[in-house]
Structure 1
Amino acid sequence: MSPQIGVGVLIFRDGKLLLGQRKNSHGAGDWSAPGGHLEFGESPEDCARREVLEETGLQLEILQNGAFVSDVFPEVNKHYITLLMVAQHASGEPQLLEPNKCSGWHWFAPEELPHPLFAPLRTWLERDGLAALQALAQSS
């Protein structure tokens, strides 16, 4: 089976990162940024805007390319390459629009992230360190 492409969106506001706790999917119980699958013909930016709007109701303005990570989920026989996009400005307040997939959205300071983190975010932080996340949060 070939790897799939995921897009994770790191949304910052007032130095805090938006995360939700996953439900009914691989990584259930893990805390994750909004995001989802890149559709055929879709740009990562368009995917980020679509997924964030569907999941949170937030409108994204400027997006920056972030890091990418590779994670294998043996329990579901899946391999994802996740492109992390960074949004410093999102209009509106996060709403729980897919309650079957997420238990709710919350803002967290980089030093106070909940556990466990969903694999793509955890992999990125293990590789690049908390300082990489703090630098993004400080520019919000």
Structure 2
Amino acid sequence: MPVRPIVDVMVILERNGHILLAERKDTGYADGMLNLPSGKVDHDRENVTQAAAREVLEEVGVRVDAAALRHVHVMNYLNPEGEQRIGWFFAVTHWDGEPYNAEPHKCAGISWHRPEELPDNTVPYNALGIGHALKGEPFSVHGWKPEEGHPIPFRE
């Protein structure tokens, strides 16, 4: 049976050598940790760039033109709960409006950080993607034990 992974989008808002992170609150997952403006693709009506632009608007109140999003990394991630996810990381340097905490019921606040000096409480999935993006690496796989992360050879 084919795997149907969750498709996530994460947006790296870059300004003056810093990126925007939001502190999760009252979500039931990773509360107290920092993450990029992010969310899931609504499979029945949007693609990854549309989802990324929507999530940025919902979470930090700024409008991003989907065409301005620059793909910087994609990750195949097996989270600690055993869910397979595909994470699309986008970067953007121009947007309309000033970022603010647009979801105070799910976010304790937003803050700017140097991407090469992320706080220890950054969500690992996000920290890994940011690190790969900084190195210019377009793709990664994380979460599998070394013997589990290899594709099965094609056989006729």
Greater per-residue helix proportion: 1
TM-score, normalization: structure 2? 0.73
Q: Give the SS at the match of 1:54.
A: helix
Q: Shift of the alpha carbon at 1:110?
A: 2.1
- The answer (yes or no) to whether the contact 1:70–1:120 under 8 Å persists in 2 is no
Q: Shift of the alpha carbon at 1:87?
A: 0.8
Q: Give the SS at the match of 2:120.
A: coil
Aligned Cα root-mean-square deviation (Å): 2.2
**Separation in structure 1 between the aligned mates of residue 126 and residue 47 of structure 2, nearest angstrom:** 21
Between 1:34-43 and 1:114-123, the stretch displaced more is 114-123
Gaps of 5+ in 1: 134-140
Q: 1:53 and 2:57 equivalent?
A: yes
Q: 1:124 and 2:108 equivalent?
A: no
Q: Shift of the alpha carbon at 1:72?
A: 2.6
What residue is the counterpart of 2:69 in the other structure? Answer: 63
TM-score, normalization: structure 1? 0.80
Q: Which residue, out of 83, 107, 110, partners 2:112?
A: 107
What residue is the counterpart of 2:143 in the other structure? Answer: none
Q: Percent identity?
A: 31
**Separation in structure 2 between the aligned mates of residue 22 and residue 79 of structure 1, nearest angstrom:** 22
Larger Rg: 2
**Separation in structure 2 between the aligned mates of residue 53 and residue 129 of structure 1, nearest angstrom:** 22
Q: Deviations over 1:50-77 (max 9, x none)?
A: 11001111111311112011323334x5
Gaps of 5+ in 2: 138-156
**Separation in structure 2 between the aligned mates of residue 129 and residue 54 of structure 1, nearest angstrom:** 24
Structure 2 counterpart of 1:98, one-letter code:
E
For CA contacts below 8 A with separation 6 or more, give which structure has more relative contact order.
Answer: 1
Q: Give the SS at the match of 1:90.
A: coil
**Separation in structure 2 between the aligned mates of residue 50 and residue 130 of structure 1, nearest angstrom:** 24
Distance 1:4 1:129, change over 3 A: closer
